[in-house]
């Protein structure tokens, strides 16, 4: 029976495609671009370039830590190195909240959008129930792939990642060829929306489109040469994502018309709409069907990550020892996987059920996924902020400490995080404004329980993966 995760399971490119799976390249023709374009308008392409630098500042912290620590504990292992056990335990439980609501968010948004998106592009009349069945099937398929191990996950996400990038490149090239007079205007600051619209697009849209590259942090014990490959994978993913984000956003907004951006975001699926009009319904069908199916890729990425984190929590004494149980042959954290699947199912059913009862299917599931998205955003930003602060304390003990990489860059990243946190929580409509409160209440309860069990948590031994 295996008692350790399977070392040397995947290399650099496997890590890259798992991290990229959480971003889903094809989303540049739908969700990734509409989130930024709502305020950035004709400056959407520029907003992705600005967001790249913000993401690199955040990715730097992971890069610096990954050279020293490569454990399944992920972010909480980093926090332990700088801030100590109790902040690390807090980070671990907050990461579980983040992962559960993140996958629940994916299930809810695809259940809400599946039938409607296909009906819009293909003129069909699929009932909403088809979308519910679809997300259930994809979730179970994702679970099965993760259950089989990290190599099948990396292989599946590599194939889907290559297909998506190829489609984005080819379709974008066709879009650009259809633009009457291509210009560099999307790369410049325009009178409308100006700097304000640009930065709002960054903090509420394009920056968040990079979220998820950190899924590989918890895979260090299964990666080849993890102290070299994990950090590189994070930086490479940010740069690769920037390439297809810039290409996809430039081609799509240019063909749509920079002076006609008022209805771009509200269209929901601008890339598929343009493909239908300028290329053909077949290509539009491929884009929209692939966009829906690649719900699979972020679910696989996040299930791999959170199951390893919970495995480490069981091994380190933060959770009961049963969480470190591994499959006897596959060496996957089976108990953690089944447990997290139950948490995700319960969260999705409760959250979706409440909003469905209050507002019906369309409005209810829309509000439910928005609620889950806000919980996810707030919790992950807090985690990244804590890791940034932790790096400064850790670097004091490192002989190779560097003022810029270990202090200035994390400080800039933390400032960006605080700005994004503000815009993620301000002005939210009822009852969505309760989402940040959920994170606050969860944190207060967690701190209270940790204080009550402080003697027990003082005995926690967090492995660094060295």
Q: Identify the CA nearest to 345 among candidates 311, 304, 303.
A: 303
**Residue-by-residue DSSP string for 65-120:** HHTT---TTTHHHHHHHHH-HHHHHHHHHHHHHHHHHHHHHHHHHHHHHHHHHHHH
453 pLDDT more than 90: no
What pLDDT is recorded for position 18?
96
**Residue-by-residue DSSP string for 1-13:** ---S--TT-B-HH
- Report the percent of the chain where pLDDT is more than 70: 99
The CA-atom distances, in angstroms, between 446 and each of 82, 305, 336, 438 are 20, 21, 20, 12
455 pLDDT more than 90: no
**What is the C-alpha R_g of the chain?**
21
For the residues 54-73, what does the mean pLDDT come to? 95
Q: Identify the CA nearest to 457 among candidates 314, 318, 324.
A: 318
What pLDDT is recorded for position 461?
84
Distance CA 300, CA 308 (A): 12
Cβ contact 249:198 at 8 Å: no
Cβ contact 393:86 at 8 Å: no
What pLDDT is recorded for position 465?
62
**How far out from the chain centre does Cα 444 lie?**
25
Coil, strand, or helix at residue 440?
helix
Cα dihedral 377, 379, 384, 388 in deg (nearest 10): 130
Tokens of 273: 């709409």
Distance CA 238, CA 260 (A): 29
In tens, the pLDDT along 64-87 reads 999 999 999 999 999 999 999 999
What pLDDT is recorded for position 425?
77
Coil, strand, or helix at residue 223?
strand
In tens, the pLDDT along 313-367 reads 999 999 999 999 999 999 999 999 999 999 999 999 999 999 999 999 999 999 9
Distance CA 63, CA 425 (A): 29
**Bridge partner residues of 223 (DSSP):** 10
Tokens of 124: 């069909």
Domains and their CATH numbers in the chain? 12-457 (1.20.1740.10)
Half-sphere exposure of 101 (CA within 13 A, CB side): 25
CB atoms within 10 A of CB 137: 11
Residue that is written with structure tokens 């809810």 in the block: 108
Coil, strand, or helix at residue 319?
coil
Distance CA 82, CA 437 (A): 27
Q: Would you call 148 exposed, middle or buried from its count of C-beta atoms within 10 A (0-12, 13-18, 19+)?
A: middle
What pLDDT is recorded for position 2?
59
In tens, the pLDDT along 305-325 reads 999 999 999 999 999 999 999
Residue that is written with structure tokens 């605080």 in the block: 418
Cα angle, residue 211 at apex, residues 334 and 356 outer, rounded to 5° = 75
What pLDDT is recorded for position 173?
98
146 pLDDT more than 70: yes
Q: Note the pTM of the prediction, 2 decimals.
A: 0.94
Q: How far apart are the first and last CA of the chain?
A: 23
207 pLDDT more than 80: yes
Per the document, the length of the chain is 466
Residue that is written with structure tokens 């500042």 in the block: 57
Q: Would you call 127 exposed, middle or buried from its count of C-beta atoms within 10 A (0-12, 13-18, 19+)?
A: exposed
What pLDDT is recorded for position 1?
47
- Report the percent of the chain where pLDDT is more than 90: 87
Distance CA 181, CA 244 (A): 21
Residue that is written with structure tokens 């972010």 in the block: 75
124 pLDDT more than 50: yes
Tokens of 436: 């940040």
Cβ contact 209:49 at 8 Å: no
Q: Identify the CA nearest to 394 among candidates 464, 457, 300, 311.
A: 464
For the residues 123-149, what does the mean pLDDT come to? 96
């Amino acid at each position: 029976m295996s008692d350790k995760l399977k070392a040397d399971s995947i290399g650099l490119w496997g890590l890259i495609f798992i991290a990229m799976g959480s971003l889903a390249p094809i989303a540049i023709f739908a969700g990734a671009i509409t989130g930024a374009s709502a305020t950035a308008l004709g400056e959407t392409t520029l907003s992705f370039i600005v967001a790249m630098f913000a993401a690199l500042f955040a990715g730097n912290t992971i890069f610096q830590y990954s050279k020293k620590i490569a454990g399944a504990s992920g972010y909480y292992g980093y926090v332990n190195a700088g801030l100590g056990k109790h902040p690390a335990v807090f980070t671990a439980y907050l990461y579980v909240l983040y992962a559960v609501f993140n996958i629940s968010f994916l299930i809810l948004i695809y259940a809400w959008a599946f039938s409607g998106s296909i009906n819009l592009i293909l003129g069909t009349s699929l009932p909403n129930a088809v979308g519910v069945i679809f997300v259930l099937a994809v979730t179970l398929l994702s679970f099965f792939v993760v259950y089989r191990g990290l190599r099948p996950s990396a292989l599946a996400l590599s194939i889907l990642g290559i297909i998506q990038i190829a489609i984005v490149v080819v379709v974008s090239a066709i879009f650009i060829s259809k633009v009457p007079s291509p210009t560099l205007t999307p790369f410049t600051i325009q009178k409308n929306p100006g700097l304000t619209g640009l930065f709002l697009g960054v903090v509420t849209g394009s920056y968040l489109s990079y979220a998820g590259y950190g899924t590989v942090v918890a895979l260090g014990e299964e990666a080849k040469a993890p102290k070299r490959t994990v950090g590189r994978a994070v930086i490479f993913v940010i740069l690769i994502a920037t390439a297809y984000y810039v290409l996809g956003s430039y081609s799509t907004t240019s063909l749509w018309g920079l002076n006609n951006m008022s209805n771009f975001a509200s269209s929901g699926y601008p890339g598929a709409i343009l493909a239908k009009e300028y290329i053909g319904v077949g290509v539009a069908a491929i884009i929209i069907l692939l966009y829906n199916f690649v719900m699979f890729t972020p679910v696989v990425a996040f299930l791999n990550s959170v199951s390893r984190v919970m495995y480490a929590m069981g091994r380190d004494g933060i959770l009961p020892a049963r969480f470190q149980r591994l499959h006897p042959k596959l060496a996957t954290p089976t108990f953690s996987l089944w447990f997290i699947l139950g948490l995700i199912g319960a969260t999705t059913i409760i959250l979706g059920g409440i909003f469905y009862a209050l507002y019906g299917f369309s409005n209810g599931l829309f509000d439910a996924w928005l609620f889950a998205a806000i919980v996810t955003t707030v919790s992950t930003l807090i985690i990244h902020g804590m890791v940034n602060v932790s790096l400064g304390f850790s670097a004091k003990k490192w002989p190779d400490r560097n003022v810029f990489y270990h202090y200035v860059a994390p400080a800039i990243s933390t400032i960006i995080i605080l700005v994004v946190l503000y815009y993620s929580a301000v002005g939210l409509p009822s009852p969505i404004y309760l989402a940040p409160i959920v994170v606050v209440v969860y944190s207060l309860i967690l701190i209270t329980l940790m204080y009550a069990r402080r003697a027990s948590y003082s005995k926690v031994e967090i492995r660094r993966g060295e």
